[in-house]
Amino acid sequence: MEAKVEKNVFKQIFRDHWEEFQENKPRYQTEYYSKTIKKMLGCGDIANGHIIYRCLSCGEEKKVPFSCKSSFCLTCAKVYTDNWVEYVGEALFEGVRYRHVVLTVPEEYRRYFYNDPRLLDELMRTGHTFYKDLVSDWLKEPIEVGSIVVLQTAGRSGKYNPHLHILETSGGLTSKGKWKGFGYIDYKLLHNKWQYYLLGMLERIGTSEIKARVDKSWKRYKKGFVAYIEKGDVPAGGKGLARYLAKYVVSPPISIRRILSYDGEKVRYWYKEHKTGQRVEEEITALEFIGRMVQHILPKGFQRIRHYGLHATCKASKMREQLKEILEVVEQPDSQETYKIEGCGYRNRIKKSFGVDPLSCPKCQEEMEFEGIWHSDYGWIVNRFDEFFVNDIQLSKKEEENVWREESMVPVQMCFVWE
């Protein structure tokens, strides 16, 4: 039986070695990375800020700390996932079936994406363009498809492996405004066309070194690049489909249950090898472990999930109404369950997960009342009478909005550890 590690072992590794890692890696000596790690390490710490609840009957006090809301934080990952599930669930078109498509990048090209984030932008756009052309070619006429493109950079071992997980409409709109679906798509066409689009993109915007490598790849990969499209539809609509995508969107590079040991210098963890499906255990230095984790923090402002075609933000609402009329004659999915997390706040999550009310006074069982918000930089911000303060000075409504906007001070939703 495996010995369980402390639930905060991930944070402890960073506390022990982050400064040393930064000193050795100039790439990560920026305010952006420092702030990201600082937020993760301070997540759930009462000293950084908290909401206060008080029982008006007996005076009992409860402090709920702020969370960092980062997908890099294993404590916040559960809440982060639930938020994405709700977001994606609302973005899907009712009555439309979807396919899961996986597009990979050959190992020899991966380091270029790591060194130049522009290539990640182009990779996501190219994924949609490729699928649109693939479906149009297969159905022998121009087809407009809808894509929800998700970028993943972590392989199962934690090494850098950029690839796309895409939820694609299983068909699309013809130039005459009719819906046309498909079943089977030839895998040879799939692989060759993905090779054509990926190499074309690299040749167009890559360096001279990349272009020289592209020339050789046309002959080396005679069967095209690895790409996969599920034969059947992914879970139909709502909760199932949203959950299906969310695990690719917000999964941290590793989970606590995969870390076997940490002795202060070395980290031992396991993963399932993709080709064999066998469990592999690996022991590396703490500095190398940190490197494998932080390389998956995307550049500031980078959108990991994007919408194209019928799902493009500028046209999604119009398409939703248009498809309701068109798809009346199309076979509907077995389940049209819609999914929205009811009550995403701290209280409702605790109730749902543990069956207890966190705002029930432990002494007299009366319901505790909101008293205020305290922040480490500003002191008291809100009191129970909805007055806004900074360092004991009451703020105007405009000043109040600026404080919230600047700090994004939202209290912790739930202290889960991603497992």
Lowest-confidence region among 80-89, 135-144, 207-216, 290-299: 80-89
* pTM metric for this prediction: 0.79
Q: Of 353, 360, 384, 378, whose CA–CA distance to 66 is shortest? A: 378
DSSP 93: P
| Distance in angstroms (rounded) separating the CA atoms of residues 201 and 37 | 33
Q: Is residue 248 part of a domain?
A: yes
Instruction: Kindly compute the dihedral angle of the four CA atoms of residues 308, 311, 317, 319, in this order, to the nearest 10 degrees.
Output: 110
pLDDT at 317: 87
Element (H, E) at 379: strand 379-383
Number of structural domains the chain divides into: 1
Measured CA angle at 382 (ends 380, 383), to 5 deg: 95
Q: How confident is the model at residue 137 (pLDDT cuts 50, 70, 90)?
A: very high
Q: Can you tell me whether residue 284 is helix, strand or coil?
A: strand
Residues 6+ apart with CB under 8 A from 399: 388, 390
d(CA 243, CA 337): 13
In this structure, is residue 31 part of a structural domain? no
Domain assignment present for 89: no
Domain membership of residue 70 (yes or no) is no
- pLDDT at residue number 330: 45
Structural domain of 311: 96-252+299-329
Which residue shows structure tokens 């909805």? Answer: 386
Residue 171 resides in a domain: yes
Cα separation, 66 vs 35, in Å, equals 16
Residue pLDDT, tens place only, 314-327: 888 889 888 888 87
Residue 161 in any domain: the answer is yes
CA distance 33 to 30: 6
Assess if residue 222 is contained within a domain: yes
d(CA 136, CA 175): 11
Average pLDDT score over the chain:
81
Query: Taking a C-beta distance cutoff of 8 angstroms, is the pair 67, 75 a contact?
Result: yes
Encode pLDDT of 163-219 as tens digits: 998 889 988 999 999 999 888 888 899 999 999 999 999 999 888 999 999 999 988
Look at the chain and count its residues.
419
Residue 403 lies in a domain: no
φ, ψ of residue 382 to 5 degrees: the values are: -130, 135
Rounded Cα distance, 71 and 217, in Å: 35
